[in-house]
Amino acid sequence: MAAEVAGGSGTAPASSGPVFSGSGQESGLTAGSEVQPAGAAAPRSSHLSQTALRTQQKELKKQQLLERRLRAYQDFFDFQEPIRKISPYRVLTLNRAERQKILRVWMECDLEGMRQVLYQECIPADHPHADFLRGCAEDALQRLLLPSLEREARRELTERAEAHAVKVVSNSLRKMLLQRPVRDKRILAVHPGLGNGCVLVALDEFGNLLEHAKLCLVGRGQDRETARQKVLQLIRRYRIGLVVIGNSRGSRIFEKFLADLLNTELKTEDVRSGMVSEMGAKAYARSMVGQEEFPYYDVRVRMAISIGRRVMDPLSELVKIDPSLLVTGVYQHDVRAKHLRPLLEEVVESCVNRVGVDVNTAHPWLLRYVSGLNMVLARRVEEYRREHGQFRTRTELKEIAGFGEGTFELAAPFLKILHGPEPLDRTAIHPDCYDLARKILEKVSAQPEDLWNPAKALTVQQQLGQLD
């Protein structure tokens, strides 16, 4: 496969097999073209109209964008690689560069060898019109066969590359959703900033907002001392055990500020700190669910709350955000959204059902991913819980409107009741199999309660593993 800068001329040498190759330019610009530096202003004159000035500024921005793209793809100028060896990442990169009209990409093959095979198979040597038939074959080869083969090969390469990209993105999302939660700790979450200051929120062990504050670390020394005292006050007043900092602009400044506190005033206290990804936090803060949960707080406070809660329970918090906003890198931008979105939704659903949810505390945005449920039923579960109190057994779910036998059969194993009278309601065992589960436990002289007894659980599991 070959590539050249769009608008380039010349052909690459023939190869022994199909290859990707290329080089490039656009609008007369090459990689070595001179352009104005990023900070340069458009020339002004007294007679230049505002319209002409805006047009010139747009042209300058367009030229700067082109230069950035040329630098990004410079490794693919005069590029060649056999298609049997080319990586999925390079295929998607070449496709992207071609869409942006930076590179011209084509496929090369042993044209002379194909021509000889075509003549040998289709044109008898002693045919009276052999020259005419060779002309027809050459036309068919150049005009029909080669373009068709190239399209087919490019399509197959792209499909393989997209499948690989989806796998990479899905694995990344799965790891993020299945991160180990931080339990039983009060958290101080920080959404850093420079000009606008930092927003801090104190959360209790259940993610409830205790207090929020805004601090400025850049500027006068008096502001910095005020921030120092406020952070100390929040940590000590609410017995904070963990400080988490979003990884946005200004995070390193706050991290250094906090490290100084931890090494001085907080040296004797058990307070830890860490950096957390802010991916999707702004989307949550501006979403309907964010506004429903915290209607009286601004966007930056809701972002800080999301940062803290995703440490406490990553799965419950991250399902509130569009999964396509949670993955990083270029892969997700190279795969068509209509293919990627449903696959990411499947990953989220798989993770939710693998872990299970506490039906007495789960938010509807988490419940909707449970097998057999949708947003309508998830909200009905929440409404029933609000009107009748906590569920005591899984069979109570059948009392919800629309929660029929079919839905119960699909959803019951994944809806857990952690503090009910039936110990098996805490497991992923379906209620229809409770009698069988008890008989199996009886074979090892155990009771369902033993599964949650720290002193007996490991022994019971080992004995169950030895059964035929």
What confidence tier does 303 reach under pLDDT thresholds 50, 70, 90? very high
In 10 A of CB 1, how many CB atoms?
A: 24
Domain annotation for the chain: domains and CATH numbers: 2-161 (no CATH), 187-312 (3.30.420.140), 337-465 (1.10.150.310)
Q: Residue 42 CA to chain centroid, in angstroms?
A: 39
pLDDT attached to residue 20: 57
Angle at 232 between CA 230 and CA 236, to 5 degrees: 120
Alpha-carbon gap, residue 233 to 290, rounded angstroms = 27
Helix/strand/coil for 229: helix
> For 213-228, what is the mean pLDDT?
80
What confidence tier does 179 reach under pLDDT thresholds 50, 70, 90? very high
What digits encode the pLDDT tens for the residues 405-425?
999 999 999 999 988 899 999
What confidence tier does 18 reach under pLDDT thresholds 50, 70, 90? low
Alpha-carbon gap, residue 57 to 61, rounded angstroms = 6
What digits encode the pLDDT tens for the residues 92-118?
989 988 888 888 988 888 888 888 888
What confidence tier does 22 reach under pLDDT thresholds 50, 70, 90? low
- DSSP assignment of 72-102 equals HTGGGTTEEEETTT--HHHHHHHHHHHHTTS
* Out of 40-54, 57-71, 217-231, 276-290, least confident range: 40-54
> For 344-357, what is the mean pLDDT?
93
Q: By the 8 A CB rule, do 186 and 240 touch? A: yes
435 pLDDT above the threshold of 80: yes
What confidence tier does 49 reach under pLDDT thresholds 50, 70, 90? confident
Amino acid at 311: V
Amino acid at 49: S
25 pLDDT above the threshold of 80: no
pTM: 0.77
> For 437-460, what is the mean pLDDT?
86
Instruction: Kindly report the average pLDDT of the chain as a whole number.
Output: 85
Is residue 80 classed exposed, middle or buried when 0-12, 13-18 and 19+ CB atoms within 10 A define those classes?
A: middle
pLDDT attached to residue 396: 93
> For 313-331, what is the mean pLDDT?
84
pLDDT attached to residue 299: 93
pLDDT attached to residue 47: 53
Q: By the 8 A CB rule, do 279 and 297 touch? A: no
Q: Considering only residues 330 and 104, tell me which one the structure prediction assigns the higher pLDDT.
A: 104
pLDDT attached to residue 48: 57
